Amino acid sequence: MQIVKIKNTTRNTVIGNNIHVADTSFTRVFGLLGKLKLDAGSGLWIRPSSGVHTFGMAITIDVIGLDRQLRVVKLWHNLVPFRVTSVSFKLNSAIELRMGEIAATGTQLGDILSVE
């Protein structure tokens, strides 16, 4: 699985430097299932995605929803296990992160992200 670094260019912060890319049916379906924790800077970039679920997960996560231009269009703080985000056709991808990372990076709606 490919690993990328994702930056918030608007805020000049790093969202994560160990973000796994889930871009196949298999990796998108299984996502973070089985993870008991996420380290700072780690996460999963699901593409394409119009929403995510936490069924079967053991951890609470933050989720950033992005459009095609990597602009933040949705934010979900502290999404607990066995929940579903709203589905939005504005979303093109979603980044699942450790709980609290949205606040820690200062990420806000309208911010532009970049991938390295």
For residue 32, what pLDDT is reported?
A: 74
**CATH placement of domain 3-115:** 2.60.120.1140
Contact 13, 114 (CB under 8 A): no
pLDDT tens sequence across 39-98 = 999 999 999 999 888 888 899 999 999 999 999 999 999 999 989 898 888 999 999 999
The length of the chain is: 116
pLDDT tens sequence across 29-40 = 777 777 778 899
Residue 25, pLDDT above cutoff 90: no
Residue spans per domain, the chain: 3-115
